[in-house]
């Protein structure tokens, strides 16, 4: 049977390339994920090129022009200050997407660090960290975020930190749970039987296999983060400067004109919903694409 | 819930223990009085309860016994892969290649694992990391023990895949485990286990999870690789047919203890222990057509309520006076044969009720700590 002798070949295909390549291919075949990705892409495009696409600046307008319904000049109408709503929705995407995504990144960094220490070290360290996490989890996330913003003051960084901290317990829990389950998995025991060091086991055998749920959860969290950031804005805890276009604050500002100018609620609201749904669809698609055990 | 001690929950070294003298130089592995217990919610399971055996360099030994008798725990203890807690190595010595390895610091033990002793597991479907290619996993194992470049390690992986009969090894090396069949994956596991030329390979039920048609091939491969590399083989199985075809010597295990040892031929043709006799006569092919199968009556004892005397006593057809109260130690019966049964002791050496009963106390510990 063993006919071929040792053959010298160049290990051309790098592992991660193959793995991510496969996942990407599976993702591209997932229709809902493509829809989600498209939604996100439209907003990212709008946010990046807002100065080019937006017909007006976010704070350009005449009070005399206030509360105009949608028209050719202002396809989404104008708000109380006479600013162009379409332009503000585009500029608002910058705030909502960056703040939302960076908040999730903060949450990931904090949560995975805590989770990796807890799941890796175990014992008393694990017990202590998990009790802290339990306390954080007992407080509703948005309430926690409100408290943190109230404490740290207004500003984009504060919002990112607040939302990030309120998400970190979920990531910590998720990673710790995966790591504990993976410790017992056959391939981790097999790797130990081959003499792999604890650090290598954690970094190479456990974390990559714990990554999938984290990536999925992070994408889904981006959806709620956008809503949370808007929620903070709606509650008056958005970026300090009122001239900054932010979807949540736009909702608050226009809620007084629900009767006379419902379009002012509709467009920023739709932007929040569509971007959140986009991240949700992408998250679900990733869940399937990243599982190498699922056949095409 | 069980607490986690360190990242890998490995058996901490019992450093500074006093150990006996090392075995002879031709002995690769000697297990002495090994006891591994698990402290669980309902008490303590004496999974391995006083196991002794020896494996010479290049020799093949089969460890057989019913499921749950402690075969896997024995092998995991030798590799120091038992989770502590809930496990505890209560007593015993494991001499490997001239060193008592239960006393080694974990860092030393890690150098031995994979390099000098390695293991083939029962479940090829789940024993490979799903997110890395098989070539990469073998290469990683090689790099853990040898100062080689990535390229050399990869080439060694391909070479090993070829050696275990995987066609187109350079292509297979780039595949993920889920792209291979169970038999192929077990070949990969064998390739990995042998990649650093170990002195001892432990194969824990390596064919149990495979299709019957593949089992013979894998067994054949293990045998061929053992002969080619000269490694000693500890083959764990519950299948006597596997033992008959593969190994030189065998040890029969029952309820955490070795009850009989000898050459595979001797033990299979002339079993001394009533349990071994029961095992052999319960193989369908050993019984003439039409005749009833001789099944060992009863079931393995409850691990929390081990019989005080001989552990096989509740099921033994030959039970007699000393069996209920006294646990028979292994005794040399023939040249190179040992059995743990009072039948093989001369009457003068059998304990009687008048003797102070020193039964191996059934392990019945109350809940340990708050779990
Ligand atoms: N991690 C563990 N915790 C508690 N009990 C265990 C553990 N591992 C094994 N055991 C117990 O030890 C005994 C022997 O198991 P094992 O060695 O796996 O048997 P086998 O001979 O089938 O390989 C069984 O009763 C099993 O329940
Ligand atoms: S010691 Fe007694 S009970 Fe145990 S196997 Fe021998 S005869 Fe049977
Ligand atoms: Mg087993």
ipTM of the complex: 0.84
| pLDDT value of residue B355 | 62
**Ligand (nearest to CA of B63):** 1
A284 or A238, which is more confident: A284
Contact B323, B355 (CB under 8 A): no
* Position B299 confidence tier, pLDDT thresholds 50, 70, 90: confident
**How far is the alpha carbon of B287 from chain A, nearest alpha carbon, in Å?**
36
**Which residues of A are less than 8 Å from B5 in CB distance?**
122-123
| Percentage, residues of chain B above pLDDT 70 | 88
Q: What is the pLDDT of residues A178-207, one digit of tens each?
A: 888 888 889 999 999 999 988 888 888 888
3-state secondary structure of B337: strand
Give the pLDDT band of residue A120 (cuts 50, 70, 90): confident
pTM higher than the cut 0.80: no
CB contact under 8 A, B140 and A196: yes
Q: Calculate the dihedral angle through the C-alpha atoms of A121, B366, B33, B305, rounding to the nearest 10 degrees.
A: -130
pLDDT tens digit sequence for B314-340: 888 888 888 888 899 888 888 788 999
d(CA A13, CA A1): 26
Residue B369 has a pLDDT of 38
Most confident of A92-96, A284-288, B136-140: B136-140
Average pLDDT over residues B45-69: 92
pLDDT-based confidence at residue A2 (cuts at 50, 70, 90): very low
- Judge: B131–A19 Cβ closer than 8 Å, yes or no: yes
Task: Tell me the best of B3, B44, B71, B73 to mutate to test the pocket of ligand 1, counting ligand atoms within 8 Å of each CB and taking the most.
Answer: B73
* CA-based nearest distance A196→chain B, Å: 6
Chain segment B233-279, per-residue pLDDT in tens: 999 998 888 888 889 999 999 999 999 999 999 999 999 999 999 88
The atom of ligand 2 lying closest to the CA of B323 is 2
Q: What percent of chain B has pLDDT over 90?
A: 50
Q: Are A105 and A144 in contact (CB under 8 A)?
A: no
**Mean pLDDT, rounded, for B165-194:** 91
Contact B5 A123 (CB under 8 A): yes
- pLDDT (0 to 100) of residue B334: 80
Inter-chain residue contact A189 with B4, CB threshold 8 Å: no
DSSP string over B101-162: GGGS-HHHHHHHBTTTEEEE-S-TTTSS-TTS-HHHHHHHHHHHHS---HHHHHHHHHHHHH
Closest alpha carbon to A16 in B150, B132, B134: B132
Residue B361 CB coordination number (10 Å): 9
B38 touches ligand 1 (CB under 6 Å): yes
Q: Which of A96-110, B131-145, B221-235, B281-295 is the least confident region?
A: B281-295
Using the predicted structure, report yes or no on whether residue A91 has a pLDDT greater than 70.
yes
| B91 within 8 A of B20, measured Cβ to Cβ | no
Ligand 2 first shell, C-beta below 6 A: B 273-274, 310, 312-313, 316, 318-319, 323, 328, 341-343
Is pLDDT at B103 greater than 60 in this prediction?
yes
- C-alpha B251 – ligand 3 centre gap (Å): 15
Q: Select the more confidently predicted residue: B368 or A282.
A: A282
Cα B174 from Cα B185, distance rounded (Å): 13
What's the Cα-to-Cα distance from A270 to each of A93, A177, A276, rounded to whole Å?
12, 36, 10
Residue B1 confidence (pLDDT) above 50: no
My answer on whether omega of the bond before A110 falls inside 30° of 0, hence cis, is no
- Predicted confidence band at A5 (pLDDT cuts at 50, 70, 90)? very low
Mean pLDDT of the residues in chain A: 84
Q: In chain A, what are the domains?
A: 20-44+83-294 (1.10.3720.10)
Give per-residue pLDDT as tens, B169-183.
999 999 988 889 888
pLDDT grade for A142, boundaries at 50, 70 and 90: confident
Please give the interface size between A and B, counted as residue pairs whose CB atoms are below 8 Å apart.
144
What is the Cα–Cα distance from A93 to A47, expressed in whole angstroms? 5
Residue B5: the pLDDT is 37
Interval A40-83: pLDDT, tens: 999 999 999 988 888 888 888 788 887 777 888 888 888 888 88
Q: Cβ separation of A196 and B144 shorter than 8 Å? A: yes
Asked if residue B8 has pLDDT above 70, the reply is no
Where does the pLDDT of residue B300 fall: very low under 50, low under 70, confident under 90, or very high at 90 and above? confident
Distance from CA of B180 to the nearest CA of A (A): 12
């Amino acid at each position: 049977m063993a006919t071929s002798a040792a053959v010298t070949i160049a290990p051309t295909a790098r592992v991660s390339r193959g793995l991510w390549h496969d996942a990407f291919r599976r993702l591209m075949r997932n229709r809902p994920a493509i829809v989600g990705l498209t939604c996100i892409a439209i907003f990212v495009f709008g946010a990046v090129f807002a100065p080019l696409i937006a017909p007006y600046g976010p704070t350009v307008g005449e009070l005399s022009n206030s509360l105009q319904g949608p028209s050719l000049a202002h396809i989404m109408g104008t708000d109380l200050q006479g600013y162009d709503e379409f332009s503000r929705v585009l500029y608002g995407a910058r705030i909502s997407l960056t703040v939302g995504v960076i908040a999730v990144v903060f949450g990931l960094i904090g949560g995975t660090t805590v989770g990796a220490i807890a799941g890796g070290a175990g014992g008393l360290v694990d017990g202590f960290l998990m009790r802290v996490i339990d306390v954080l989890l007992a407080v509703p996330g948005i309430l926690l975020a409100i408290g943190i913003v109230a404490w740290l003051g207004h500003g984009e960084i504060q919002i990112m930190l607040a939302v990030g901290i309120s998400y970190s317990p979920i990531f910590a829990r998720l990673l710790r749970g995966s790591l504990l389950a993976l410790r017992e998995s056959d391939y981790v025991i097999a790797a130990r039987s081959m003499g792999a060091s604890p650090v290598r086991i954690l970094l190479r055998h456990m974390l990559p296999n714990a990554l999938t749920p984290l990536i999925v959860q992070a994408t889904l969290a981006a959806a709620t983060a956008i809503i949370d950031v808007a929620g903070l804005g709606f509650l008056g805890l958005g970026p300090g400067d009122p001239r900054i276009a932010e979807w949540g604050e736009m909702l608050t500002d226009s809620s007084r004109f629900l009767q006379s100018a419902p379009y002012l609620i509709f467009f920023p609201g739709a932007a929040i919903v569509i971007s959140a749904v986009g991240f949700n669809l992408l998250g679900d698609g990733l869940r399937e694409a990243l599982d190498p055990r699922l056949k095409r | 819930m069980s607490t986690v001690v360190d990242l890998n929950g490995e058996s901490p070294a019992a450093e500074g223990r006093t150990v006996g003298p090392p075995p002879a130089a031709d002995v690769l592995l000697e297990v002495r009085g090994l006891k591994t217990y698990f402290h669980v919610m309902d008490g303590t399971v004496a999974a391995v309860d006083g196991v002794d055996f020896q494996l010479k360099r290049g020799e093949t030994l089969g460890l057989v016994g019913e499921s749950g008798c402690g075969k896997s725990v024995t092998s995991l203890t030798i590799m120091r892969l038992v989770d502590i807690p809930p496990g505890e190595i209560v007593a015993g010595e494991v001499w490997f290649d001239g060193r008592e390895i239960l006393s080694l610091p974990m860092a030393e033990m890690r150098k031995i694992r994979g390099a000098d002793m390695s293991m083939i597991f029962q479940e090829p479907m789940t024993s490979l990391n799903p997110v890395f290619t098989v070539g990469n996993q073998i290469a990683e194992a090689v790099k853990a023990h040898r100062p080689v470049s990535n390229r050399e390690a990869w080439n060694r992986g391909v070479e090993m895949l070829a050696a275990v009969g995987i066609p187109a090894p350079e292509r297979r090396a780039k595949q993920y485990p889920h792209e291979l069949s169970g038999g192929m994956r077990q070949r990969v596991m064998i390739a990995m286990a042998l990649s650093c030329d170990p002195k001892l390979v432990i194969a824990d039920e390596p064919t149990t999870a495979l299709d019957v048609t593949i089992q013979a091939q894998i067994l054949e491969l293990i045998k061929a690789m053992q002969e080619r590399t000269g490694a000693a083989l500890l083959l764990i199985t519950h299948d006597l047919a596997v033992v008959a075809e593969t190994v030189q010597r065998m040890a029969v295990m029952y309820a955490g203890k070795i009850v009989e040892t000898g050459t595979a031929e001797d033990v299979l043709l002339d079993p001394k222990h009533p349990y071994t006799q029961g095992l052999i006569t319960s193989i369908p092919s050993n019984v003439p057509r039409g005749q009833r199968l001789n099944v060992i009556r009863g079931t393995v004892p409850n691990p929390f309520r081990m019989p005080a005397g001989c552990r096989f006593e509740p099921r033994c057809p030959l039970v007699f006076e000393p069996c209920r109260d006294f646990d028979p130690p292994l005794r040399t019966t023939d040249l190179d044969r040992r059995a743990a049964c009072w039948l093989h002791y001369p009457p003068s050496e059998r304990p009687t009720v008048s003797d102070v009963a020193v039964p191996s106390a059934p392990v019945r510990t109350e809940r340990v700590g708050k779990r």
